[in-house]
Chains A and B, each alone.
Chain A
Amino acid sequence: MRTGHHGQGIVTDAVGVPAAAKLPWPILQRGAEQMLLYLALIALAAVFLVPYLWMISSSLKPAVEIFQHVYPLSWKTFIPQAPTFDSFRELFRLVPFPFSRYMFNSVFVATTVTVLSLAVNAMAAYAFARLPFPGQSVLFAIFLSAMIVPFEVLAIPLYLQVRALGWVNTYQALIIPWIANPLGIFLLRQFFQEIPRELEEAARIDGCSYFAAFRHVVLPNSVPALVAFALIRFQASWDAFLWPLIVAPSAEKRVIQVAIASFVTEVQTRWDLTFAASTMATIPIIVVFLILQRYYVQGVVMSGLKG
């Protein structure tokens, strides 16, 4: 993290003497500029945070109150007058399945995808990074080509494939196609290649198998990359919408995103339930993100990868 640089204004920092010399009282100009900067930042932060505030407060309002105090703007727009957990309670009493069922489906699918894809892709990445064999570059090129083709193009044939396997409305359909991840293999391979070879060779001389060297040397030295990859996989799986919408629309196997969408696309949208459900789908992820932010940001920057 940064150490405090306050006390040095942006004027002298960014441009040095000449700009500051324009005014007889550089401190005043600096102060004004600082104030503008912070005003802009606070206004922007509000633009990003207010929708969340509104979502959470609406989830605590009775249905009739949601549209009541939107205009004129006042504290009542954001603070429920008589906060109630009724919509949350109702969510957990929905028929045929309570909302907790959809949450469980999402947690189960996202966790399984994350764990399996960590194992499978880390192993593949290690083989590409450290175990040269004939045909390696051809195989790697095939993996790379899979990285370029977007899922949206594959959706139809993948659906037909999964349908032919009899997997429609099953957990397999939601999990198995998403385990192998070429982008993850690519990134982890880069990371493994940067681990000093000597570490592994020392282990190998001590009689370790490749697998033991991978487990006891490579993996422990790659924790940041693995955490970043796991976070990105989890989020991608948690957020996935088009695929579960196509392949597992049944109420029993419905994931949280499809459940929320089904609230919205129903003839009579129950906005109170929708807000409560959205809040539950969002807040845990944001908390996890805030805790593991360091790894996440590193992962994003390392790769610039997305979804």
Chain B
Amino acid sequence: MIRPRASGLERQRYWTAFVFLLPATAGIVFFFLIPIVQALRISFFDYALLNPEQTFVGLANYRQAWKDPVFRVSLNNTLLFTVALVTLQTVAALILALLLKQKVRGLGFFRSAFFIPVVTSLVVISTVWKLLYNSQGFINSVLRTLGAGPQPFLSSPDQALMSLVVMSVWKDVGFYMLIFLAGLQGVPEELHESAAIDGATRWQSFWKITLPLLRRPTVFVVVVGTIAAFKVFTPVYLMTDGGPAESTMVLVFYIFRTAFRYFEMGFASAMSFILLGIVLVLTLVQFRLLRAAAEY
């Protein structure tokens, strides 16, 4: 195809676009494109940071991941963490949004209270909760006051992962609540009123009217929550170090440990690409579901 020569005006526009895009494009090339290509390369090499020698090993790192029992445990724990977290936080966020949707006084106060953990750093929250969960900590004190026995929480292989889930719900639920609140603004009050006149109970009108109209925000909350949950790292690093007995060993933490404590960059890169594969599948599912929800 022969392009007509750019007119003076067009040339000015191209030139401006070039200048405007240059810094951002340079950033993406140097800190996204080049590293990701490099990572893919490294994942086929036996590459230890302390040893300058790199040997091509093909798919050996990926096979190693597949056979590595710790990798399997971490994948398993990540899945468990994700399913529990997403379920709890989605339901909790919807409940909070519905409570605030009632015409309450002090709406601003309650909304801010639920949202403050979202703007607090995960490092601080993990630190404070580590003490809340302590055997002599605040939560056990409340339990004892209520007449229940003290719980081991983080020091028990059975409870540690779920303790992290509860803390994560507490941190993020306010964010997802806002998404539901925005979605609820779009549910017209008249629908409920006319349903009520037709004799619908409140419960029926919630299931038949509110919930279907919340499809889009729900899909968003579930998928964004799933991707975020898959990347959990900070609480594990600060609160459990993957233990006890690897019960909180999750994918990103295991990758971090492999890369930055044992310096096995090749193996860690291969595991990173497995993580990327999972995230890409989840993202594709998100686009599919969001499109379906938009058509609904």
A55 in contact with B234 (CB, 8 Å): no
User: Is A105 close to B, CB under 8 A?
Assistant: no
Residues facing A in B208-257 (CB within 8 A) are 220, 224, 227-228, 231, 233-234, 237-238, 252, 255-256
User: Is B202 close to A, CB under 8 A?
Assistant: yes
Task: Give complex CA distance A10, B283 in Å.
Answer: 39
User: Is A150 close to B, CB under 8 A?
Assistant: yes
Which of A14-22, A82-90, A92-100, A195-203 touches B?
A14-22
The residues of A that contact B234 with a CB separation of less than 8 Å are 241-242
Task: Give complex CA distance A274, B3 in Å.
Answer: 65
Which of B25-33, B63-71, B81-89, B153-161 touches A?
B25-33
A6 to chain B, nearest CB (A): 6
Task: Give complex CA distance A47, B169 in Å.
Answer: 12
Chain A contact patch, size range? 35 or more
Task: Give complex CA distance A49, B174 in Å.
Answer: 13
The residues of A that contact B275 with a CB separation of less than 8 Å are 150, 152-153
A146 in contact with B205 (CB, 8 Å): no
- The proximity string for A residues 32-54 relative to B, scoring 1 for CB distances below 8 Å and 0 otherwise, is 00000110110011011111101
Out of B20, B104, B199, B280, which one reaches A37, CB within 8 Å? B104
User: Is A207 close to B, CB under 8 A?
Assistant: no
A15 in contact with B24 (CB, 8 Å): no
The residues of B that contact A239 with a CB separation of less than 8 Å are 121-123
Task: Give complex CA distance A262, B95 in Å.
Answer: 37
User: Is A137 close to B, CB under 8 A?
Assistant: no
B112 in contact with A55 (CB, 8 Å): no
Nearest A residue to B35, CB-CB: A157
Given the known A-B contacts A179-B27, A264-B130, A306-B224, are A18 and B199 also in contact in the complex, defined by CB atoms under 8 Å? yes
User: Is B55 close to A, CB under 8 A?
Assistant: no
User: Is B74 close to A, CB under 8 A?
Assistant: no
Task: Give complex CA distance A301, B180 in Å.
Answer: 9
Given the known A-B contacts A51-B128, A121-B24, are A133 and B105 also in contact in the complex, defined by CB atoms under 8 Å? no
B31 in contact with A304 (CB, 8 Å): no
User: Is B148 close to A, CB under 8 A?
Assistant: no
Nearest B residue to A124, CB-CB: B24
User: Is B272 close to A, CB under 8 A?
Assistant: yes
B178 in contact with A261 (CB, 8 Å): no
Residues facing A in B3-34 (CB within 8 A) are 3, 12-14, 16-18, 20-21, 23-28, 30-34
B114 in contact with A290 (CB, 8 Å): no
Residues facing B in A1-24 (CB within 8 A) are 1-2, 4-6, 8, 10, 13-19
Out of A1, A8, A67, A150, which one reaches B108, CB within 8 Å? A1
B120 in contact with A286 (CB, 8 Å): yes
B20 in contact with A131 (CB, 8 Å): yes
A45 in contact with B119 (CB, 8 Å): no
Task: Give complex CA distance A18, B193 in Å.
Answer: 10
Nearest B residue to A47, CB-CB: B170
Task: Give complex CA distance A261, B125 in Å.
Answer: 11
The residues of A that contact B93 with a CB separation of less than 8 Å are none
Nearest A residue to B173, CB-CB: A48
The residues of B that contact A38 with a CB separation of less than 8 Å are 104
Given the known A-B contacts A52-B116, A153-B272, A282-B120, are A271 and B131 also in contact in the complex, defined by CB atoms under 8 Å? yes
B124 in contact with A281 (CB, 8 Å): yes
A6 in contact with B170 (CB, 8 Å): no
Task: Give complex CA distance A142, B36 in Å.
Answer: 13
Given the known A-B contacts A13-B103, A71-B144, are A286 and B16 also in contact in the complex, defined by CB atoms under 8 Å? no
> Of residues B107, B124, B131, B138, which shows the largest number of chain A Cβ atoms within 10 Å of its Cβ?
B124
Given the known A-B contacts A14-B202, A241-B121, are A180 and B27 also in contact in the complex, defined by CB atoms under 8 Å? yes
30 pairs, CB–CB < 8 Å, chain A vs chain B = A1-B108, A8-B103, A14-B192, A14-B202, A16-B193, A19-B202, A44-B114, A45-B114, A48-B116, A48-B170, A48-B174, A50-B138, A51-B132, A52-B116, A127-B20, A148-B279, A150-B276, A152-B233, A155-B255, A155-B256, A182-B28, A239-B123, A242-B252, A261-B237, A263-B127, A278-B128, A289-B116, A297-B115, A300-B179, A304-B224
> Which residues of B are in contact with A by a Cβ distance under 8 Å?
3, 12-14, 16-18, 20-21, 23-28, 30-36, 38-39, 42, 96, 99-100, 102-105, 107-110, 112-117, 119-124, 126-132, 136-138, 140-142, 144-145, 170, 174-175, 178-179, 182, 189, 192-193, 196-197, 199-202, 205, 220, 224, 227-228, 231, 233-234, 237-238, 252, 255-256, 259-260, 265, 268-269, 272-273, 275-276, 279-280, 283
> Which residues of A are in contact with B by a Cβ distance under 8 Å?
1-2, 4-6, 8, 10, 13-19, 37-38, 40-41, 44-45, 47-52, 54-55, 67, 70-73, 77, 120-121, 123-124, 126-128, 131-134, 136, 139, 142-143, 146, 148-150, 152-161, 176-177, 179-180, 182, 185, 209-211, 214, 235, 238-239, 241-242, 245-246, 257, 260-261, 263-265, 271, 274-275, 278, 281-282, 285-286, 289-290, 293, 296-297, 300-301, 304, 306-307
6 further A-B contacts with Cβ under 8 Å, apart from A45-B113, A180-B31, A297-B178, are A2-B103, A50-B138, A149-B276, A150-B227, A179-B23, A241-B234
Instruction: Give the 10 A-B CB pairs with smallest separation, nearest first.
Output: A180-B27, A157-B35, A124-B24, A157-B39, A131-B17, A71-B141, A127-B20, A16-B196, A5-B103, A15-B196
